[in-house]
Structure 1
């Protein structure tokens, strides 16, 4: 069986489903293919262990796709404050008062209602999948992966694992960091594995839903708290939260093997006093973290978006926001090509996409690395530099708010000093 489409999107995760929905609305005939089954319509009471901090820019994009209302109807937690501090004890700690090295970003200072929303990945994907299925120009193919890709000058042909062939003028690989589409297109990647891994812990805590997310940095990595929705009515007076613990793979394996009461005790010892009183551990998972960047964003009639093109250190939960920015940019370029009667798979249009997105993604990758290298060490001069930097950020609200607006997707450029610091990072030339 053979079917023809304008565009085939491989991967129906958050970025792929968003692209399928947006391009379908723009009048393209779309197929979106994913090896996973379609998301269940019922939402479990316990939260998904994978969550993201959706920025104000992502919220606007999701609203334009019709996905934001269903996300809010399911569950999303706004946060109005974000705090960062250095929690490491070292010989230079006494040189700067600890209160001066705590930086807090506040939505009120930015004339905004909130800095963003903490949303479970499964909630965002479920809402976007529903939007894609509702578009008459979109055909969804779930439960099947791709086994082959062939390209000619005029079209690309994908062979699915059930033998079906899909012809398209353009294939978009949005199938994640281990992208099969990228491999079949012959696009290589540069990859740097970090020494740390991240452990994510779904918990319940006593008290109302908090409006702050925070990260306290240790030499082994940060300890982070992300607020989620209320646990009522099943657990009156309690709320859900997500904890992130960065550490060595060996330490995290030890922690994951502990019975829940012992793990709870370890968390309460290792996390800062800002942690609300925990009542229950629901789920625990860990995963390696790496910086990865495709050597090219397109090859022939195949183009990459989201994690298939780039992965970053998840320190600030910005990965999916970058993916949504890819999607908006690519959608706008393809819409303009269609309006102009041009080939949507032309190297000029796909090259424009790469020229616009690679520098922006690279900036965010380097920003996350700046935090990683500055905070994840025990070198005394680095302690002093980062504490001075946090003190300066506290004392200079204009620069601090510029960084916040960049992370929220409201500004396109970082302050000049931050950009200068990024040029000093190791591994720069590999990106």
Structure 2
């Protein structure tokens, strides 16, 4: 069986489904291929482990696709404040108050009602599947993977594991960090493995839904609190949250082996005092951390977007926001090619996409690595510098608000306060 379309998208995650929606709305015929079945949503179920901090810029994009109302109808938690502080104990800490080593970003200071929303990845994906399925020109093919991709001057042929073939003028690889499409297109990657992993835990706590997300930085890695929704009438007075504990793999393996009561005790001891009283632990899982960047964003009739093109340190949950920015940019370039009657795989337009997105993605990689390198050590001069830096950020609203607007996706340039630091970070030159 064969099918001819304008565009084949491999990967129906958040970025792939967003591209399918946007390109379908532009009148293009699209086939979306994914091994996984359609996502499901149960309002009574505990939250998924995988959540993202969707920025204000991503919210606007999802609004334009018609997906935001569906997300809000399921579950999305706005946060108005983001706090960051240093938890490293050291004799130099006696020279200043601990609260001088904390900075809080507040939406009101940038004239916004909120900084972003914490949303389960499955919720965002399901809302985007719904908008994609609403487009008459979009076909979703689930339960099958890609066996091969053959390109010639006029088209690319995607062969599926069930023998089906999809003929397309352009193939978009949105199939994640271990992209099969990227491999088949012969595109290599630069990869740096971090020395930490992340343990993610869904918890219930006593208290109302919080409007703040925070990260306390320890030398072994940050520990973060991400507020989610109310736990509902079955658990009155309780709310859900996602906790993230970054640490060495052997430490997280030890935590993973603990029973719930022992792990709860470890969390209460190991997390900052700002953590509300926990009442229940639900699911938990650990994930390796790596920074990865494709050496090229396109090859012939294949182009990459989202995690297939780049992965970053997940400290601030910015990965999907970068993916949505890729999707917006790629959609715009494909629409321009369509308007001009150009080949959808024209190097002119795909080259413009890469020239816009590669430096923007690299800037966010650099910003996340500032936090990783500056906070992940006990060297006294660095410890003093980072605490003075946090204190300065607290005292200088202009610099603080620049960082906030950058994280919200409202400012594209790296904030001036971060530029001299990122220029000295190891390992970023080849990205």
Same fold flag (TM > 0.5): yes
Mapped partners of 2:334, 2:43: distance in 1: 34
Gap regions ≥5 residues in structure 2: none
| Alpha-carbon distance change, 41 to 133 in structure 1, aligned in 2, over 3 angstroms | farther
- Give the superposition deviation at 1:97: 2.0
Give the 3-state SS of the residue equivalent to 1:53 in structure 2. Answer: strand
How far apart are 1:39 and its partner, in Å? 1.4
Q: Deviations over 1:14-39 (max 9, x none)?
A: 00000000000001100000011111
Q: Is 1:193 aligned to 2:168, yes or no?
A: no
In the alignment, which residue of structure 2 is the partner of 1:327?
A: 327
How much has 1:318 moved relative to structure 2?
0.2
> How far apart are the structure 2 equivalents of 1:387 and 1:246?
20
- In structure 2, the partner of 1:360 is 360
Report the Cα distance in structure 2 between the residues aligned to 1:200 and 1:399, rounded to whole angstroms.
Answer: 31
* CA deviation map 1:315-364 (0-9, x unaligned): 00000000000000000111111111111101111110000000000000
Structure-2 separation of matches of 1:280 and 1:104: 28
Structure 2 residue matching 1:332: 3-state secondary structure: helix
Secondary structure in 1 matching 2:372: helix
Match of 2:402 in 1: 402
| Residue range with higher mean Cα deviation, 420-429 or 7-16 | 420-429
User: What residue number does 2:136 align with?
Assistant: 136
1:238 aligns with 2:238: yes
The 3-state SS of whatever aligns with 1:243 is strand
Q: Is the 8 Å Cα contact of residues 53 and 317 (structure 2) preserved in structure 1?
A: yes
SS in 2 for 1:200: strand
Deviation of 1:382 after TM superposition, in Å, equals 1.0
8 Å contact kept, 1:223–1:271 = yes
Equivalent residue for 1:337?
337
Aligned partners of 1:43, 1:346: CA distance in 2, in Å? 44
Does the 8 Å contact 1:86/1:102 carry over to 2?
yes
- Could you say which residue in structure 1 is the equivalent of 2:91? 91
Determine helix, strand or coil for the equivalent of 1:23. helix
Mapping of residues 21-420 of structure 1, within 5 Å: 21-40=21-40, 42-420=42-420
Cα distance in 1 between the residues matched to 2:230 and 2:154: 53
Taking the aligned partners of 1:30 and 1:44, their CA distance within structure 2 comes to: 34
Distance 1:400 1:413 in 2: 14
SS in 1 for 2:144: coil
Q: 8 Å contact 1:334–1:349 — kept in the other structure?
A: yes
State the partner residue of 1:423.
423
Cα distance in 1 for residues equivalent to 2:230 and 2:416: 40
Contact 1:91 1:380 in 2 (8 A): no
Local SS of the residue matching 1:416:
coil
TM-score by length of 2: 0.99
Query: Is 1:7–1:169's contact at 8 Å kept on the other side of the alignment?
Result: yes
Separation (CA, whole Å) in 2 of partners of 1:384 and 1:53:
30
Aligned residues of 2:86 and 2:387 also touching (Cα < 8 A): yes
Contact 2:406–2:415 (Cα < 8 Å) also in 1: no
Q: Distance in 2 between matches of 1:141 and 1:41?
A: 20
Distance 1:44 1:299 in 2: 45
Does the 8 Å contact 2:81/2:115 carry over to 1?
Answer: yes
Task: Give 1:43 deviation, angstroms.
Answer: 4.5
Q: Offset at 1:42?
A: 3.9
After TM superposition, the score normalised by the length of structure 1 is: 0.99
Cα 1:136–1:252 change in 2 (3 A) is same
SS at match of 2:276: coil
Equivalent-residue separation in structure 2 for 1:417 and 1:85 (angstroms): 17
Task: Give, in whole Å, the separation in 2 of the partners of 1:144 and 1:95.
Answer: 61
Deviations 1:138-174 (A, max 9, x none): 0000000100110001110000000000000000000
The runs of at least 4 consecutive aligned structure 1 residues that moved more than 6 Å come to: none
Gaps of 5+ in 1: none
CA distance in 2, matches of 1:160, 1:171: 13
Provide the C-alpha distance between the structure 1 equivalents of 2:300 and 2:57, rounded to a whole number of angstroms: 30
Question: Which string of whole-angstrom CA distances, capped at 9 and with x for unpartnered residues, describes residues 93-115 of structure 1?
Answer: 12232111110011111110100
Q: Deviations over 1:393-418 (max 9, x none)?
A: 01111010001001101111122231
Shift of 1:41: 5.1
**Take 2:175 and 2:203, find their aligned partners in 1: how far apart are those partners?**
29
